[in-house]
Amino acid sequence: MNHIQDNFEPQIVALCCYYCAYAAADLAGTSRIQYPTNVKIVLFPCTGKVDEIYMLRTFEAGADGVYVAGCLEGNCHFLTGNLRAKKRVQYAKSLLDEIGIGGERLEMYNLSSAEGQRFAEIALEMTEKIRALGPSPLNQLKLKGGVTR
């Protein structure tokens, strides 16, 4: 188990809003700001489109951690999409808790499109957090079965 933990590179999926986090990721890229390659971005038109089932299916598909990144509260392009996402993240956390994956593997962040540096910080923060938590219990099972990553 320790061996697995030592070499563990978490797979993290960031569900990003087009108007803020995705643009911030772009800015981070054009500004040559480094952030961990563990984070894979999925583009959404607004975090209001991020349904609980997308979060669960991302874990089901093998993610060790997931985060939803939307606009600053009060600044949603569609007025309340990020507030809806906040509630849905809370609900999805409770679902992950009840099945034993752990709600702490899912987070919600808010940032503006001008915050390329903040995007990189969030990516690093989430990567370190999930690295410390270890593989998702679903993936630990896969590793026990002899399939390595």
Residues that bind another protein (CB under 8 A): 51-53, 56-57, 59-60, 95, 98-101, 137-138, 141
Query: How does strand 39-44 pair with strand 106-110?
Result: unpaired
Query: Is the backbone of residue 104 left (phi > 0), alpha (psi -120 to 50) or beta?
Result: alpha
CB 23, min distance to another protein, A: 29
Q: How far is the CB of 111 from another protein (least distance, A)?
A: 28
Q: Are 109 and 119 in contact (CB under 8 A)?
A: no
Q: How far is the CB of 122 from another protein (least distance, A)?
A: 25
Q: Which is nearer to another protein, 26 or 52 (CB)?
A: 52
Residue number with CB closer to another protein (40 or 57): 57
98 token code pair: 């009840």
CA dist., res. 77 & res. 113, Å (int): 12
In the complex with another protein, which residue's Cβ is closer, 100 or 146? 100
